[in-house]
């Protein structure tokens, strides 16, 4: 095929994206035609000349990753996947863009259709998740070599992605780590929703990326050869590359193109007809001429050949078994054995340690058992205690380590963790202070929405952190995290529960886990060993009574110790108090009614958590008691704060006495 023909074909391939996009948005009467039409040429050249994927095996580990960070341009992805011949993306899916029950959601949703590598839409998440993918690629490569792991991560990002703060964290991290296989295309169309970009930004993106250690190129985003040359150059460079693509938003639409009006609204029948005319596209809605279809399918064929060659390499590789293990679910049996042995030892040793320290101890077991565990912290390694013995740091010259110094970048860390999980090959966790869950909440939400089994290690989980004061003391944070669907929030009470929490986190399949851990020391309360993971039930009776109970005291984390002391006080008065430890409201909610009723009983209840009551209605009725916080904390030593805010055994006992009286 000579260049002239190729260019003509590519123009038609790109126009197919444009037309499918405008037709689908029109059919939905909703959606964003601007970005897909503007980026059609870039995407076509990228896929046609570079991307290696095989629609027949969308999970092939060594495929290139493609991330549409400007997720509102989802029709670009759907159009391409339709043209490539993914078997779950027929024309009917495009016709039913944004309709109930179809794969073609308003924004690309991971798991809804093949070939969607990550959920995007919240701006900046795609590019930041892609950094995690590109990092995982290098880490996997360091373990298994070029013959098994050797692919690129391509990202299309818009102005929104680059204005969001998370992009700063992601770009800096990628530049620092020298992720040369990450190539970002910036859709430089000079338009945002409010109008021209000069309404709100004057930043020189070229200089900005260079300042972060990136390789920067600029092209006319509608000139195929310029685009191709830049990609070739970018692939050859050792640094991550940003290719600024000067584009016209809604390119192809003769009247609305180039204006913010084409960003997020259908073109309308008239402009669609004019666009067909302008593009010389005489075909009906969702109709693609055979020559264009076969040009796109040739990409799939090339990918299938590459995959076949890769399978041959893998089958004769010495690394084959280890490679397969890295991609498989963690060895739950081995972990169970190791955790049980460790728990038995704890119940003998009865350590009095902070649960953040207990987390480090449990992580030693987890990381020894799971060879593909990779951890990190947002510059709080010595506080989060996330680095275990032998975990060497990752750096740009050596990706064989298993510890990532994420820097003071909670949001970038969480997005990178999502990317690592999506890439595959690793179990991954990362730490910060619990109060700073707020800094990475949009990415935590995506972990939950995508069902990625990453683990968040969040220490300093209450006023118990003491002197750092209200900015650092979570009071509403735990409630706000319990509110996120499909997130398991665990607040263990002692070293045993912490070990069990890590067992849950490391073997979770489609739910992220978030551990809330204390700064302050706590006694071991699980003094008799059992193999069963009690934490996995969400709540259980830690201290029982003979005969019927008078009251049930329910607590989590560091407050379980307080509830136990309250039970002692009550016992001295002849009041029989059952103590329930409730490390996870979500896991408890998933238990059957019989078990739940057994644990909660029918006696009055008192809850205790050094946090607000919101969310405790999962366990308490309106007339039950609660000992906790009602507002922000303060700066003082931890024990003084507990006394000041009246979160004490005496207060719990008082609440219990009051409830029992009322009940009688």
Based on the shown chain and the rule CB under 8 A, indicate whether residue 409 belongs to the binding site for a copy of itself. yes
Write the DSSP assignment of 337-360 as a string of letters. Answer: HHHHHHHHHHHHH---EEHHHHHH
Q: Which two tokens stand for residue 459?
A: 């220490």
Based on the shown chain and the rule CB under 8 A, indicate whether residue 591 belongs to the binding site for a copy of itself. no
Q: Which of 505, 510, 604, 500 is nearest to 548 (CA)?
A: 604
Based on the shown chain and the rule CB under 8 A, indicate whether residue 424 belongs to the binding site for a copy of itself. no
593 annotated as belonging to a binding site for a ligand? no
Which of residues 506, 641, 651, 656 is near a copy of itself by CB under 8 A? 641
For a copy of itself, which stretch binds (CB under 8 A), given 171-179, 227-235, 244-252, 352-360? 171-179
Catalytic residue among 109, 137, 360, 410: 410
Write the DSSP assignment of 67-111 as a string of letters. Answer: EESSGGGHHHHHHHHHHHT-TT--HHHHHTTT-TT-S--SS--BT
Contact (Cβ atoms closer than 8 angstroms) between residue 472 and residue 435:
yes
Based on the shown chain and the rule CB under 8 A, indicate whether residue 377 belongs to the binding site for a copy of itself. yes
Based on the shown chain and the rule CB under 8 A, indicate whether residue 547 belongs to the binding site for a copy of itself. no
Q: Which of 61, 115, 65 is nearest to 88 (CA)?
A: 115
Based on the shown chain and the rule CB under 8 A, indicate whether residue 625 belongs to the binding site for a copy of itself. no
Contact (Cβ atoms closer than 8 angstroms) between residue 128 and residue 416:
yes
Secondary structure of residue 623 in the 3-state scheme = coil
- Minimum separation from the CB atom of position 104 to a copy of itself (A): 8
- Minimum separation from the CB atom of position 228 to a copy of itself (A): 27
Tokens 């809605």 -> residue: 285
- Minimum separation from the CB atom of position 423 to a copy of itself (A): 20
Tokens 């008691």 -> residue: 625
- Minimum separation from the CB atom of position 266 to a copy of itself (A): 12
What share of residues in the chain are helix, strand, coil (percent, to 5)?
50, 15, 40
Based on the shown chain and the rule CB under 8 A, indicate whether residue 406 belongs to the binding site for a copy of itself. yes
Based on the shown chain and the rule CB under 8 A, indicate whether residue 521 belongs to the binding site for a copy of itself. no
Based on the shown chain and the rule CB under 8 A, indicate whether residue 31 belongs to the binding site for a copy of itself. yes
| H/E stretch holding 459 | strand 455-459
Angle between helix 441-450 and 125-144 (nearest 10): 70
Beta-carbon count within 10 A of 249 CB: 26
529 annotated as belonging to a binding site for a ligand? no
Contact (Cβ atoms closer than 8 angstroms) between residue 430 and residue 441:
no
Based on the shown chain and the rule CB under 8 A, indicate whether residue 34 belongs to the binding site for a copy of itself. no
Which of residues 105, 127, 554, 564 is near a copy of itself by CB under 8 A? 105
- Minimum separation from the CB atom of position 60 to a copy of itself (A): 26
Show the site string, 327-346: x = touches a copy of itself by CB under 8 A, - = not.
--------------------
For a copy of itself, the closer CB: 415 or 495: 415
215 annotated as belonging to a binding site for a ligand? no
Based on the shown chain and the rule CB under 8 A, indicate whether residue 596 belongs to the binding site for a copy of itself. no
For a copy of itself, the closer CB: 23 or 41: 23
Which of residues 164, 494, 497, 550 is near a copy of itself by CB under 8 A? 164
Secondary structure of residue 505 in the 3-state scheme = helix
Residues 226-255 that bind a copy of itself (CB under 8 A): none
Which of residues 180, 258, 330, 615 is near a copy of itself by CB under 8 A? 615
- Minimum separation from the CB atom of position 207 to a copy of itself (A): 4
Based on the shown chain and the rule CB under 8 A, indicate whether residue 381 belongs to the binding site for a copy of itself. yes
327 CB contacts (<8 Å, ≥6 apart)? 61, 424, 425
Total residues binding a copy of itself (CB under 8 A)? 108
123 annotated as belonging to a binding site for a ligand? yes
Q: Which of 563, 579, 550 is nearest to 658 (CA)?
A: 550
Residues 191-230 that bind a copy of itself (CB under 8 A): 192-195, 199-208, 210-213
Based on the shown chain and the rule CB under 8 A, indicate whether residue 475 belongs to the binding site for a copy of itself. yes
Based on the shown chain and the rule CB under 8 A, indicate whether residue 461 belongs to the binding site for a copy of itself. no
Burial 131-160 (b: 16+ CB within 10 A, else e): bbbbbbbbbbbebbeebbbbbbbbbbbbbb
For a copy of itself, the closer CB: 284 or 382: 382
- Minimum separation from the CB atom of position 599 to a copy of itself (A): 15
Beta-carbon count within 10 A of 255 CB: 16
Based on the shown chain and the rule CB under 8 A, indicate whether residue 476 belongs to the binding site for a copy of itself. yes
For a copy of itself, the closer CB: 313 or 405: 405
519 annotated as belonging to a binding site for a ligand? yes
Measured CA to CA, the distance from residue 110 to residue 601 in angstroms comes to: 41
Contact (Cβ atoms closer than 8 angstroms) between residue 230 and residue 217:
yes
Based on the shown chain and the rule CB under 8 A, indicate whether residue 372 belongs to the binding site for a copy of itself. no
Based on the shown chain and the rule CB under 8 A, indicate whether residue 509 belongs to the binding site for a copy of itself. no
Measured CA to CA, the distance from residue 37 to residue 380 in angstroms comes to: 44
Rg (CA), the chain: 28
Q: Which two tokens stand for residue 219?
A: 């092209």
Write the DSSP assignment of 129-173 as a string of letters. Answer: HHHHHHHHHHHHHHHH-TTT----EEEEE-HHHHHSHHHHHHHHH
Which of residues 137, 172, 187, 360 is near a copy of itself by CB under 8 A? 172
Determine if residue 148 is left, alpha or beta; phi over 0 gives left, psi from -120 to 50 gives alpha, anything else beta. alpha
For a copy of itself, which stretch binds (CB under 8 A), given 3-11, 190-198, 336-344, 569-577? 190-198
Measured CA to CA, the distance from residue 176 to residue 214 in angstroms comes to: 9
Determine if residue 397 is left, alpha or beta; phi over 0 gives left, psi from -120 to 50 gives alpha, anything else beta. alpha
User: Residue 410 catalytic?
Assistant: yes
Secondary structure of residue 438 in the 3-state scheme = helix
Distance from first CA to last CA of the chain, Å, rounded? 90
Based on the shown chain and the rule CB under 8 A, indicate whether residue 91 belongs to the binding site for a copy of itself. no
For a copy of itself, which stretch binds (CB under 8 A), given 15-23, 36-44, 141-149, 445-453? 445-453
263 annotated as belonging to a binding site for a ligand? yes
For a copy of itself, the closer CB: 15 or 104: 104
- Minimum separation from the CB atom of position 594 to a copy of itself (A): 18
Residue ranges for the known binding site for thiamine diphosphate are 72, 121-123, 160, 189, 263, 436
Which residues are annotated as catalytic? 410
Q: Which residues belong to the annotated binding site? A: 32, 72, 121-123, 159-160, 189, 191, 263, 356, 383, 436, 460, 468, 472, 519
Q: Cite the annotated binding site for Mg(2+) by residue number.
A: 159, 189, 191
| Binding site members for substrate | 32, 263, 356, 383, 460, 468, 472, 519
């Amino acid at each position: 095929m000579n260049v002239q023909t190729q260019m003509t074909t590519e123009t038609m391939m790109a126009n197919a994206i444009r037309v499918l996009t405008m037709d689908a948005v029109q059919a939905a009467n909703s959606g964003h035609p601007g970005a897909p039409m503007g980026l059609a040429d870039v995407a076509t050249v990228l896929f046609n000349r570079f991307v290696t994927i095989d629609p027949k095996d969308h999970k092939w580990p060594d495929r290139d990753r493609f991330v549409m960070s400007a997720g509102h341009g989802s029709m670009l992805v759907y159009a391409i996947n339709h043209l490539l011949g993914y078997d779950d993306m027929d024309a009917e899916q495009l016709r039913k863009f944004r309709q109930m029950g179809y794969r073609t959601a308003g924004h690309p949703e991971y798991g809804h259709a093949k070939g969607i590598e990550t959920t995007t839409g919240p701006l900046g998440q795609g590019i930041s998740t892609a950094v995690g993918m590109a990092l995982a690629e290098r880490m996997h490569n360091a373990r298994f070599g070029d013959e098994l792991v050797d692919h690129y991560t391509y990202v299309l990002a818009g102005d929104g992605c680059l204005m969001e703060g998370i992009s700063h964290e992601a770009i800096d991290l990628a530049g620092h780590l020298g992720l040369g296989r990450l190539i970002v295309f910036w859709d430089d169309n000079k338009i945002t929703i409010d109008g021209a970009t000069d309404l709100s930004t004057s930043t020189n993106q070229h200089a900005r990326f260079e300042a972060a250690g990136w390789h920067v190129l600029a092209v006319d985003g509608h000139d195929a050869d310029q685009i191709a040359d830049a990609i070739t150059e970018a692939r050859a460079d050792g640094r991550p590359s940003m290719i600024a693509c000067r584009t016209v938003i809604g390119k192809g639409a003769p009247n609305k193109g180039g204006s913010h009006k084409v960003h997020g609204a259908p073109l309308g029948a008239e402009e669609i007809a004019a666009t067909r005319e302008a593009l010389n596209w005489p075909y009906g809605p969702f109709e693609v001429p055979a020559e264009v279809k076969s040009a796109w399918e040739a990409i799939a064929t090339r990918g299938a050949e590459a995959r076949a060659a890769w399978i041959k390499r893998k089958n004769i590789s010495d690394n084959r078994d280890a490679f397969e293990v890295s991609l498989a679910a963690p060895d739950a049996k081995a972990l169970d054995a190791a955790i049980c042995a460790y728990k038995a030892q704890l119940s003998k040793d009865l350590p009095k340690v902070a649960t953040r320290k207990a987390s480090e101890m449990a992580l030693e077991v987890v990381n020894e058992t799971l060879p593909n565990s990779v951890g990190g912290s947002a510059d709080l390694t010595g506080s989060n205690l996330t680095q275990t013995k032998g975990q060497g740091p990752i750096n740009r010259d050596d990706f064989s380590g298993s510890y990532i110094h994420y820097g003071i970048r909670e949001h970038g860390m969480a997005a990178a963790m999502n990317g690592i999980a999506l890439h595959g090959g690793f179990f991954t966790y990362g730490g910060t202070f619990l109060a700073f869950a707020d800094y990475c909440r949009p990415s935590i939400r995506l972990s939950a929405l995508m069902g990625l089994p990453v683990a968040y290690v969040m220490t300093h989980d209450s006023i118990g952190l003491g002197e750092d004061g209200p900015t650092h003391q979570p009071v509403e944070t735990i409630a706000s995290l319990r509110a996120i669907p499909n997130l398991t929030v665990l607040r263990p009470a002692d070293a045993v529960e912490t070990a069990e929490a890590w067992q849950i986190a490391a073997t979770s399949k489609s739910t992220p886990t978030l551990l809330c851990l204390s700064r302050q020391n706590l006694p071991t309360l699980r003094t008799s060993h059992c193999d069963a993971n009690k934490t996995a039930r969400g709540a259980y009776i830690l201290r029982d009574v003979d005969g019927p109970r008078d009251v049930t005291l329910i607590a989590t984390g560091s407050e379980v110790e307080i509830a136990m002391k309250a039970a002692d006080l009550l016992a001295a008065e002849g009041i029989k108090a059952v103590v329930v430890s409730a490390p996870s409201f979500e896991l408890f909610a998933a238990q059957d009614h019989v078990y739940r009723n057994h644990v909660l009983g029918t006696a009055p209840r008192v809850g205790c958590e050094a946090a607000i009551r919101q969310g405790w209605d999962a366990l308490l009725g309106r007339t039950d008691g609660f000992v906790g916080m009602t507002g922000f904390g303060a700066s003082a030593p931890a024990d003084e704060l507990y006394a000041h805010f009246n979160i004490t055994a005496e207060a719990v006992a008082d609440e219990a006495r009051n409830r029992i009286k009322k009940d009688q």
